[in-house]
Amino acid sequence: MTPLAERVIELELRPPAGFSLPEWAPGAHIDLVLPGDIVRSYSLLGDPTDRAAWRIAVLREVEGRGGSDAIHRMKAGDTVRVRSPRNNFALKLAPSYHFFASGIGITPILPMIDAARGQGIPWRLDYVGRSKAKLAYVPRVSQLPEAHIHFTCPAGRPDIAALLAESDPNAAIYACGSQGFLLGLEAAANAVGRSVQTEWFAPKPGARQAADGAFETFTVRLERSNIEVTVLPGQSIIDACAEAGVTIPASCYEGTCGSCLSTVLEGVPDHRDSFLSPSERKANCLMAACVSKSMSGRLVLDW
C-alpha cells in the first residue's frame, strides 16, 4: 500500500502462492469484494501482462458508502477477494488519441497512454485536479511532454472547448473523471460534432429515468435456465431473477460498472445504464440488468 496523494493510495494485489493472475487490457477494472459483500470496482494500472500482481489506486471518498474507507483501513498483507477483470472502456485503435482525466479518473487512462506510446500512436492528455497535493501520479505524468496538468486551485477550471480545439480533430477521445467534468466535456465535444468514450463513477444525470412507454411490469425469460420471471414495479431484473434462483453477477447496482451486462435475445430494453454507447443502445443486444427495464412486455435474456 503506497500513499500517492491526499486520500489516495495505490494497492498492489498479489495472488496466493502458486496462482497467477489473468492478463488484462487498458480500461479494464476489477471488483474488490469487501467484508459484508460490499463490492467496489477499480481500474487496473501498470503492466497488463504482469501475472504476478495487479495495481489499483483508491480515493477515500469522504461522503462515500464506506467501501473506499474500508480499503484505506486495510493493512499490507491483508487478504481481499477480487473478481476477474472486465472491460467496458476498451481502447480501440485510432490514428491518435486525446485523453482527458479529472482526479482519480487518471487510473484507467494511464495504461491507455502506455499502450499508445508502445504502439507509437500520437496522443495528448489533459489532466485536471484541484492541486498537486490532491492529484495522484503527478510526478509520473508531468514527465510526459504530451501531458498537460491543470490545477483548478487557484487557476480555475480549464476551458475544455479550447483544449479540444488544440488536438487532432480526428483523435479518439477517452475520458474518465467526475460527473461535472465529463458532462462539460461531452457538451463541448458534441458542440463540435465529436464523440467521447467515457467511464462514469456515478450514474449519468437522468440515466435512471423511465423512457416513455416503458413497461412497469414485464416478464423476463431466462433462455438457458428455462425460467420465466415477472419483474414488478420497483423491482430490478436482477432481484426478480435472484428470487427465481438465478444469480446475475452484479457489483455497483447503479448501471455504471457493467458487471450485470446481459445478452438480449428478444424484446426491447429500456436502457437506464451509464456505460453503453449510443450505438450499443440502438442495437439492443446488451442491457444492464441492474437498472434497465423493458419497452416490450417480454424480454428474453441469455442466462
Q: Which of residues 260-279 bind ligand FES (CB under 6 A)?
A: 260, 273
Looking at beta carbons only, is 147 or 261 nearer to ligand FES?
261
85 is a contact residue toward ligand FES (CB under 6 A): no
- Contact (Cβ atoms closer than 8 angstroms) between residue 267 and residue 299: yes
258 binds ligand FES, rule: CB under 6 A: yes
Would the CA dihedral through 188, 190, 194, 198 be positive or negative? positive
E strand spans, 14-91 = 29-34, 38-43, 54-59, 81-82
Q: Which of 290, 295, 299, 301 touches ligand FES (CB under 6 A)?
A: 290
Instruction: Count the residues of the shown chain that bind ligand FES, applying the rule CB under 6 A.
Output: 13
Q: Would you count residue 251 as binding ligand FES (CB under 6 A)?
A: yes
Spatial contact of 97 and 70, defined as CB atoms under 8 Å apart: no
Q: Are 46 and 57 in contact (CB under 8 A)?
A: no
User: Is residue 253 near ligand FES by the rule CB under 6 A?
Assistant: yes
Side chain identity, residue 190: N
CA distance 128 to 177: 9
Query: 269, 214, 218, 208: which is closest to 240 by C-alpha?
Result: 218
**Distance in Å, CB of 287 to ligand FES, minimum:** 9
- In the bound state, the residue with its beta carbon closest to ligand FES is 290
* Residue from 8, 206, 207, 1 nearest 105 by CA: 8
Closer Cβ to ligand FES, 68 or 259, answer by number: 259
**Closest to ligand FES by CB, 96 or 179:** 179
Q: Which is nearer to ligand FES, 102 or 256 (CB)?
A: 256
**Nearest to ligand FES of 241, 260 (CB atom):** 260
Asked if residue 259 binds ligand FES (CB under 6 A), the reply is: yes
* Identity of the residue, 4 or 250, whose beta carbon is nearer to ligand FES in the bound complex: 250
Kindly state the smallest distance separating residue 169's Cβ from ligand FES, in Å: 32
Which residue stretch of 10-18, 29-37, 140-148, 258-266 sits at the interface with ligand FES (rule: CB under 6 A)? Answer: 258-266
Of 125 and 287, the one with the shorter C-beta distance to ligand FES is: 287
35 preceded by a cis bond (ω within 30 of 0)? no
Nearest to 234 by CA among 219, 217, 255: 217
Q: Is 51 exposed, middle or buried (0-12, 13-18, 19+ CB in 10 A)?
A: middle
For residue 260, the minimal CB distance to ligand FES (Å) is 3
**Considering Cα of 191, then 192, then 193, then 194, what sign does the dihedral take?**
negative
Assess 32 for contact with ligand FES (CB under 6 A). Answer: no
Q: Contact positions toward ligand FES, by CB under 6 A?
A: 250-253, 255-260, 273, 288, 290
